[in-house]
Structure 1
């Protein structure tokens, strides 16, 4: 199984930090956010990782190289200025991801979810399907995204009158066919694909109860940095 780390975002809410440093290279706990992902993947036996990029992408390639420093092989999927959004970026990278299920990780999160689970999930998924990791709603996203009746059960879209909604963690396992309807080079968000998949009951999920941080602001980056610095 391959993994893709989504690293093409501009990081508007993190400006001015991201004016000169791409968001995945911002540091927390003494290392760039994306390096936490790479080291976790390598420790779990991954060999091949794809990274998409747009804003200051040349700095990401310069910092990470071919991945050999992490025991990995990194391939890059560059995007035009402004990027292609999540679904468009993944669709553009499909030629690098192969024909089997793959793990997708947002480059601007920190999470202790066990990436080894992706292999079991991939083996269990039928073609065209997707599986999302969900977390309890953070203060900045109290309404959540999806409802989960049980581990591995089809998701439901969160509605105004529905309780029990959870937030998409930016971690998912996908079959390439899930993105078959996205034209090459198209700019497209992931949510419409997920909503369509949920309507057809081909998107399942699980709830992660461990640590997860969406590093979307300078304040959350500082909090995570302090937390990781204190960790043994």
Structure 2
């Protein structure tokens, strides 16, 4: 399976490092996030990658070149004009992914020991449209799932705002882990264009497609701020 790694973000919460570097090159115990995640994905047999870049994208290209792409096949989806967010970034990378029946997406700033083989098998065996890795962890925004672990809504924990596919029948709130398996038919179903979040599309598509949450208890750190780097260094040697 081919993997798309989102590495284009500006990482404003990681300033001053991101004033002159891309977030994907933040180091945890001396190893850049991007390197860690390429090696993590390779450990599950994934060797074909698309990496989207924007903020100091040339540094990522140079980093990969110096390291001979870590022995992987890597295509760069360069968002030169503007940062397109996750949905726009996925559409922009379509030419690299549309011939795949299914593909994996992962945020470059996520570190996890999730059993990816089980996650991918669940997606393929159940022929899901999208499978989202989710866990019961603290987050200001939660996805809402029914008893069959099918996406039925979204909740802003702070404001109470909800987006629902149907009346909330004691749906289970879970935090998205930044890892998803996607069927390539999504390219024919996305309505938005330009700069947008893929989660906005998922919340529309949940009304007509099977978007499943795979609940997990794996270690997972969103390395988005300095204190989370320190937390990650305790878990990922």
Query: What band does the TM-score fall into relative to the shorter chain?
Result: 0.7 to 0.9
Q: In terms of mean alpha carbon deviation, does 181-190 or 90-99 score higher?
A: 181-190
Cα 1:125–1:178, aligned 2, differ >3 Å: closer, same or farther?
farther
Selected match of 1:144 from 116, 139, 142: 142
Structure 1: 5+ residue stretches without partners? none
**TM superposition shift of 1:72:** 0.8
* Contact 1:67/1:73 (<8 A) preserved: no
Partner of residue 205, structure 2? 197
Question: 1:51-106, CA deviations, whole angstroms, 9 ceiling, x for partnerless residues?
Answer: 00100000001111297452211110000344111011011111112231000001
Partner of residue 179, structure 2? 171
The two structures have a TM-score, normalised by structure 1, of 0.87
Instruction: Measure the CA separation in 2 of the matches of 1:104 and 1:154.
Output: 19
Partner of residue 112, structure 2? 111
1:157 paired with 2:153, answer yes
Instruction: Measure the CA separation in 2 of the matches of 1:154 and 1:205.
Output: 6
Structure 2: 5+ residue stretches without partners? 161-167
3-state DSSP class of the match of 2:39?
helix
Q: How many residues align?
A: 224
**TM superposition shift of 1:227:** 3.6
1:123 paired with 2:112, answer no
Question: 1:120-139, CA deviations, whole angstroms, 9 ceiling, x for partnerless residues?
Answer: 24433548x1110001222x
Question: 1:128-176, CA deviations, whole angstroms, 9 ceiling, x for partnerless residues?
Answer: x1110001222xx1452232524xx421214447563001111000012
Instruction: Measure the CA separation in 1 of the matches of 2:88 and 2:56.
Output: 19
Instruction: Measure the CA separation in 2 of the matches of 1:146 and 1:61.
Output: 37
**TM superposition shift of 1:198:** 1.5
**TM superposition shift of 1:180:** 2.5
**TM superposition shift of 1:182:** 4.2
Instruction: Measure the CA separation in 2 of the matches of 1:45 and 1:66.
Output: 22
**TM superposition shift of 1:195:** 0.4
Partner of residue 218, structure 1? 226
Selected match of 1:180 from 157, 166, 188: 188
Question: 1:26-73, CA deviations, whole angstroms, 9 ceiling, x for partnerless residues?
Answer: 001221111111111222212211100100000001111297452211
Instruction: Measure the CA separation in 1 of the matches of 2:94 and 2:66.
Output: 19
Computed over aligned residues only, the root mean square deviation of the Cα atoms, in angstroms, reads 2.3
* Contact 1:42/1:71 (<8 A) preserved: no
* Pairing 1:70-89 to 2, within 5 Å after superposition: 70-89=70-89
1:94 paired with 2:94, answer yes
**TM superposition shift of 1:116:** 2.0
Q: In terms of mean alpha carbon deviation, does 33-42 or 185-194 score higher?
A: 185-194
